[in-house]
């Protein structure tokens, strides 16, 4: 991670939630004091960011940018 955090026992397990407007969702969550582990990054299939819930669990917010990356194949 950008802050130098390295994997430790328990790994980097997380679950992903698909969102349609990652920029807006991140802005709203930050405005409410939510801690993110990194900034939004973009790959081939979409944009993602890792957020920590109040218990420290990692949750990935994912916005697909290509149809094949969607969790549900919509037409």
- Give tens-digit pLDDT for 33-56: 998 989 999 999 999 999 988 877
Show the tokens assigned to 73. Answer: 């194949």
Buried b (16+ CB within 10 A) or exposed e, 6-24: eeeeeeeeeeeeebeebee
d(CA 35, CA 1): 14
CA distance 64 to 70: 6
pTM assigned to the model: 0.76
pLDDT tens-digit profile of 19-35? Answer: 999 999 999 999 999 98
Residue ranges per structural domain of the chain:
15-69
| Domain 15-69 in this protein, CATH class | alpha beta
CB 62 within 8 A of CB 25: no
């Amino acid at each position: 991670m950008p802050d130098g955090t390295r994997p430790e026992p328990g790994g980097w397990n997380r679950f992903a939630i698909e969102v349609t407007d990652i920029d807006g969702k991140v802005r709203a969550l930050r405005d409410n004091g939510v801690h993110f582990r990194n900034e939004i990054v973009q790959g081939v299939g979409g944009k993602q960011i890792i957020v920590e819930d109040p218990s420290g669990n990692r949750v990935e917010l994912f916005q697909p940018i290509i149809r094949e990356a969607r969790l549900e194949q919509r037409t």
